[in-house]
Structure 1
Amino acid sequence: NVGRQKLQALRDNSNYFRMKLKEMGLLVMGHYDSPIMPVMLFHATKISAFSRECFKRGLAVVVVGFPAVPLLVSRARFCISAGHTRDDLDRALAEIDEVADLVNLRYAKSVFG
């Protein structure tokens, strides 16, 4: 059944992407199986830098800040689809990894490694 295959691909892609974001030390919110992944930026000053750097790298990302969310809980949202390939996801993750360093987003990274 094509529908079941697409649902499974969506779940697999979502779980993979979320796991990799967390391994990078990014604080990812939301349900584990959800294809919509809020990544916490916290400071409103990081919104435009994060969005601009992602755009320069060919990544579509939605950023959300005040007044849509409280002042200190700004976030970016990534939307994963069943149509993304593992190569698509890995490329996006590599770009996000660079941007995370540029705007200091590794809030969840352990100080011990």
Structure 2
Amino acid sequence: MEDMVHDALRQNESWQASTSNNIEEAPNEETQRFFNFLLDANQPLYGGASDSKLSMCVRLLACKSNWNIPNQGIDFIAKMVMDATPIKSGLPKTYYDAKKVCIKVGITIAED
């Protein structure tokens, strides 16, 4: 997701450079909030981890979608993962938590 955002910004930067006098404008508050959330969501869960909060949320929602698991089943899986890992911060606790993270970064979630 982060690579896609950077690619889009680079394309936008080249267009802006040709249409302006290289005056850099600070992002508005909503955009800055989105980028801050995206950076936070893409941080590794712990040192050396290959998964981030966002990737874990997407994987949980993929389980729900691929195998038609009810929300309570996803809540159970999320709790099981939380119980089995030493580091709890960043992991979604419920289906609703995972869904919120995905929606904040613009991933569309089908209604249940």
Q: Return the TM-score normalized by structure 1.
A: 0.30
- Identify which of structures 1 and 2 has the higher relative contact order when contacts are C-alpha pairs closer than 8 Å and 6+ apart: 1
Point out the structure with the larger strand share. 1
